[in-house]
Amino acid sequence: MGEDQKTYAGKVLTTVFIIGILALIVYVVYYTRDFFLIGFISIILSIIIRSISSALQSRFRLPSGLAYVIGLLSILLLLVTPFASISVPLIGQVQKMINNLPQFTEGLQDLLSQLTERAPFLFERIDIDAVINDLMQNLQQIFSSSLTYIADITGSIATFIVMLVLAAFIAKNPKEYSEMALRFIPAKSRNLFIETIGEIESVLKHWITGILLAMFFVGFLSTIGYLIIGLDYFLVFGIAAGFLEIIPFFGPFLGALAPLTYALIESPDKVLPVLIIYLIVQSTENYFFVPFVMRRQVRLPPAMSIFSIMIFFRLFGFMGIIIAIPMLATIVLVAEKMLNRSSEHFNRIVKKVEPPIKHSENDDQDEESAPPSPS
């Protein structure tokens, strides 16, 4: 077998090996995706704890143990306090909304009937009464199976507690876990591994800071705006707008869809004020908040981001939508590091095997016959 054939066979085997490794990684991630999701969210929570504790140590000169405890309590308060502070009025508004569902359904039916009369060609193939009946049956099934949803919520709470415990352990001594990972990394690649981990942590910090500030910003302004115009369930709609901000691209639209639909059915005179509030909040966010507060947040091409949202939603469900952007940013960063490393390695190999430049006899004669340079 010639040298060219050996080189070609080696390239083929290398390509097959890389494809096999990638397929194995995808297989493992797919069948362990729940544990993978828990691990990734735990890392994000641990970064929040470490950021708070590091800020306390640098600004107030607190001991590391005390700063860690305060950081852990801070994230617990950050997650629990908003729900506890608004639980009483929020539960009251939700209960009132549930009691008014029949009235809301009648208003929706009247609206659809008016649309049918004005544009019959759009609804001639749709049985409005059947749609309304199916909607009511589905709502009844949802409320009748409330125990199942309570069990699911209980399971989600238990999973969240597990993530908090894991985050607390990781934030307590992150060097222990990084040193354990370094044992499986070749010595010549350890500096690159440490550098990549640091950059990933920086990317996740910027994403966490930006998304938390955006949620508070949009939720607060929306709630105040809906309260000023006297919209019913202003607290529910405002909080929903804030939490939906975590969904890239589609979250702001979904946050405005519910109050607009409600105003269209129950209070048509408030449709325009709700729309104005939505435009004011989004304009303020896009032209003030994003440039000055979120300028260091994760920046990715929109098409790639939307495609990643679809993929991670397929893999992880709703939580996949939330972690799609930081996960994609992490994957892009790691891939960039690996490609740059491979490119540098390939260039070194090419330089080693590149034959030296040979001078011809004519070149030597020309050099000998060339007149000496003036001194």
- Note the maximum CA span of the chain: 105
Confidence band for 306, pLDDT divided at 50, 70 and 90? confident
| R_g of the chain, CA atoms, integer Å | 30
**More confident position, 301 or 42:** 42
Q: Mean pLDDT, to the nearest integer, of 197-219?
A: 86
pLDDT at 375 > cutoff 50? no
List the one residue out of 222, 171, 161 whose CA is nearest residue 201.
171
**More confident position, 207 or 155:** 207
Q: State the CB neighbour count (10 A cutoff) for residue 142.
A: 11
DSSP output for 111-134: HHHHHHHH-HHHHTT--HHHHHHH
Are residues 242 and 234 in contact, defined by beta-carbon separation less than 8 angstroms? no
Confidence band for 186, pLDDT divided at 50, 70 and 90? confident
> In this predicted model, what pLDDT tens digit does every residue of 90-145 receive, in sequence order?
666 666 766 776 777 677 777 777 777 776 665 555 666 666 666 666 655 555 55
Joined together, the tokens standing for residue 291 give 């440039």
Which residues fall within 8 angstroms of residue 50, CB to CB, at 6 or more apart? 71, 171, 174
pLDDT at 224 > cutoff 90? yes
pTM higher than the cut 0.85: no
pLDDT at 74 > cutoff 90? no
Question: Which backbone phi and psi does 330 adopt, to 5 degrees?
Answer: -65, -45
pLDDT at 228 > cutoff 90? yes
Query: CA angle at residue 220 from 219 to 222, to 5 degrees?
Result: 65
Confidence band for 175, pLDDT divided at 50, 70 and 90? confident
Q: Mean pLDDT, to the nearest integer, of 243-249?
A: 83
